[in-house]
């Protein structure tokens, strides 16, 4: 019988992709409430991949996923199709004056660009905390413009990066420990592959309940489809397994199906982003790594709050499948924004004042286009966005079977969500291990800390 995946973001697509490869004989159906996919985080995220910036419970999944990202790119031309390449991460370091009376005697405090990672405002864990072998002694200043080529300064910092006076950059990534993709293009490739191997997509469709037989076992999911003109139709999809991978909307789907709250829960983390282009990053950057291996390289900068901005910006240089370089700027989060009913309604909640704040920050951190006289002009805007990232109450991804529900044919209900800002990085690993779960095998990358809290499920018949 069929597998139904609720949610067509990168987690749902990854599960569909790996399970379709493992079980080409099985019917796989992805349902999504929107008329097209990628209306939220999967389509508007930075696409930064890391291998070792994670706490011990997540590290095995992160390492597996990082490996799968590279394998997928090497096998299927990821550089050309979704901009996969290695990346180097830098932290902006700035000294600030501490106030008198704080016990510091007015001393100066060093604030690092990855400090904000510990506070849950964007990246979940600090690189420095989990990568003690990273050498951060090299101090890089953005005003060093002596060139080894036209896009990198002699200190290996990309020329597109700039910073206020009194700051410096330090490398925080391990050797070959970070990479970059254009996430929307990766998702589109996954969707194309899924369609080619007969995965079905039911768009404008959302779940409304579970259907049980006379013995109280689930044998179908009831859904409601929305057609043009406002027409609605309810029908049942017979299935053996169901996976909820609906991002921030996962708790709502869980409650719709089970009439109870999910634990641990998931909260939405709304964040603005801005994608720009600069002539200072107009061609690929090549660097020698791993004993002289010459590779195409991207760069990212992570910054602490300063007098110029009150939040913690991040800038990620990346390539599109057309070969055009671009820079993703984000870090401005606003948890007062309520989660909309559907992902496509996020644009209605964007505030122009916040977008202007992010525009000014982008201009402070990314060198603009210069004319022949050296005058800097505005950056070219590619797109702006607001997306909602699913952050679990435990701070860890939730990849778990839901106990206490009987399915016809010994199937199960699963949850795969709560990846926070690391959804793209952990996506392929999640898809792989969930596919293994569906085949009856628990992969070693799945740790107990990722499971839902087990409690009796009082499933009342709704249908």
pLDDT in tens, the chain (463 residues): 899 999 999 999 999 999 999 999 999 999 999 989 988 888 899 999 999 888 899 999 999 999 999 999 999 999 999 999 999 999 888 866 544 444 545 555 555 544 444 443 333 233 334 334 333 334 444 444 333 344 455 455 788 888 777 888 888 888 789 999 999 999 999 999 999 999 999 999 999 999 999 999 999 999 999 877 778 899 999 999 999 999 999 999 999 999 999 999 999 999 999 999 988 787 767 765 656 667 778 899 998 888 888 888 999 999 998 788 999 999 999 989 999 988 888 888 999 999 999 999 999 999 876 666 656 678 999 999 999 999 999 989 999 999 989 999 899 999 999 999 999 999 999 999 999 999 999 999 999 999 998 654 433 333 3
**CA atoms within 13 Å, Cβ hemisphere of 396:** 23
Please state, in angstroms and rounded to a whole number, the distance separating the CA atoms of residues 332 and 313: 7
Q: What pLDDT score does 147 carry?
A: 36
Q: Is 205 exposed, middle or buried (0-12, 13-18, 19+ CB in 10 A)?
A: buried
Coil, strand or helix at 266: strand
CA-wise closest residue to 11 among 253, 244, 271, 196: 244
154 CB-contact burial (10 Å; exposed 0-12 / middle 13-18 / buried 19+): exposed
Q: Are strands 3-6 and 413-417 parallel, antiparallel or unpaired?
A: unpaired
Instruction: Give CATH for domain 3-52+56-61+183-265+393-450.
Output: 3.50.50.60
Cα torsion 375, 376, 377, 383 to 10°: value is 170
d(CA 180, CA 87): 6
Q: How far is CA 463 from the centre of its chain?
A: 36
With contact defined as beta carbons under 8 Å apart, do 242 and 434 qualify? no
Cβ atoms within 10 Å, residue 134: 19
Residues 6+ apart with CB under 8 A from 68: 428, 429, 432
Tokens representing 375 are 């005058």
Distance, CA of 292 to chain centre: 31
Residue 145 has a pLDDT of: 37
Mark residue 91 as left, alpha or beta (left: phi above 0; alpha: psi -120 to 50; beta: remaining): beta
Residue keyed to tokens 């002596």? 146
In whole angstroms, what is the distance from residue 307 CA to residue 67 CA? 39
- Distance CA(458)–CA(463), nearest Å, equals 15
Tokens 């011990």, residue located? 56
Question: How far is the CA of 74 from the CAs of 45, 69, 190, 319, 387, in angstroms?
Answer: 22, 9, 15, 16, 29
- Angstrom distance (rounded) from CA 282 to CA 276: 12
pLDDT for the residue numbered 11: 97
Alpha-carbon torsion 204, 344, 424, 116, what sign?
negative
Tokens of 250: 């996962």
Extents of the domains making up the chain: 3-52+56-61+183-265+393-450, 85-180+268-391
**DSSP labels for 94-113?**
EEEEPPTTSSSTT-EEEEET
CA-to-CA separations, 457 to 36, 263, 430, 452, in angstroms, rounded: 33, 12, 25, 12
| CA angle at 272 for the pair 419 and 11, rounded to the nearest 5° | 25
DSSP string, 222-240: EEEEE-GGG-EEEEEEE-S
Residue 451: name the closest of 390, 391, 409, 392 by CA: 392
460: nearest Cα among 255, 205, 251: 255
Strands 413-417 and 241-244: parallel
| Structure-block tokens of residue 370 | 């210069």
Answer whether 98's CB lies under 8 Å from 19's CB.
no
The helix or strand, by DSSP H or E, that contains position 72, with its residue range, turns out to be helix 59-76
Q: Where are the alpha helices (DSSP H) in 227-311?
A: 250-258
Give the pLDDT confidence score for residue 309 in this predicted structure. 87
pLDDT given for residue 196 in this prediction:
97
Asked whether the beta carbons of 313 and 303 are under 8 A apart, the reply is: yes
What length does the chain have? 463
Residue with tokens 């050296």: 374
């Amino acid at each position: 019988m069929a597998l139904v995946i609720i949610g067509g973001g990168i987690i749902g697509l990854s599960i569909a992709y790996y399970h379709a490869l493992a079980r080409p004989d099985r019917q796989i159906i992805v349902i999504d409430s929107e008329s097209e996919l990628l209306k939220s985080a999967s389509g508007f995220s930075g696409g930064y991949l890391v291998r070792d910036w994670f706490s011990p419970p997540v590290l095995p999944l992160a390492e597996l996923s990082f490996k799968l990202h590279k394998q997928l790119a090497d096998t299927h031309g990821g550089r050309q199709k979704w901009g996969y390449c290695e990346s180097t991460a830098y932290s902006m370091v700035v000294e600030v004056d501490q106030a008198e009376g704080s016990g510091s005697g007015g001393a100066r405090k060093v604030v690092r660009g990855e400090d904000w990672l510990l506070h849950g405002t964007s990246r979940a864990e600090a690189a420095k905390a989990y990568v003690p072998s990273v050498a951060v002694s090299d101090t890089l200043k953005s005003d060093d413009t002596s060139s080894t080529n036209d896009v990198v300064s002699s200190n290996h910092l990309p020329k597109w990066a700039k910073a206020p006076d009194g700051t410096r950059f330090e490398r925080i990534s391990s050797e070959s420990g970070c990479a970059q993709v254009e996430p929307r293009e990766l998702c589109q490739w996954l969707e194309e592959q899924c369609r080619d191997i007969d995965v079905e997509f039911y768009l404008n469709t959302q779940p409304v309940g579970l259907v049980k037989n006379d013995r109280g076992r689930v044998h179908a999911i009831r859904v409601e489809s929305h057609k043009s003109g406002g027409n609605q139709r309810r029908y049942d999809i017979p299935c053996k397994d169901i996976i909820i991978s609906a991002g921030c909307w996962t708790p709502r789907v869980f409650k719709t199906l089970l009439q109870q709250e999910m634990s641990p829960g998931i909260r939405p983390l709304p964040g603005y982003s801005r994608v720009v282009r600069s002539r200072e990053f107009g061609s690929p950057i090549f660097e020698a790594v791993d004993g002289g291996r010459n590779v195409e390289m991207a760069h990212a900068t992570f910054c602490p709050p300063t007098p110029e901005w009150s939040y913690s910006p991040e800038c990620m240089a990346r390539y599109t499948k057309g070969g055009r370089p671009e820079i993703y700027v984000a870090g401005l989060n606003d948890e007062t924004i309520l989660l909309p009913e559907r992902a496509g309604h996020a644009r209605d909640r964007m505030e122009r004042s916040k977008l202007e704040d992010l525009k000014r920050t982008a201009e402070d951190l990314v060198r603009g286009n210069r004319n022949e006289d050296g005058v800097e002009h505005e950056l070219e805007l590619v797109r702006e966005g607001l997306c909602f990232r699913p952050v679990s109450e435990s701070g860890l991804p939730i990849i778990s079977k839901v106990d206490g529900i009987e399915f016809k044919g010994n199937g199960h209900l699963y949850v795969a969500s709560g990846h926070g800002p690391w959804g793209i990085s952990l996506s392929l690993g999640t898809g792989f291990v969930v596919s293994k779960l569906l085949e009856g095998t628990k992969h070693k990358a799945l740790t107990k800390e990722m499971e839902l809290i087990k409690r009796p499920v009082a499933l009342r018949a709704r249908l």
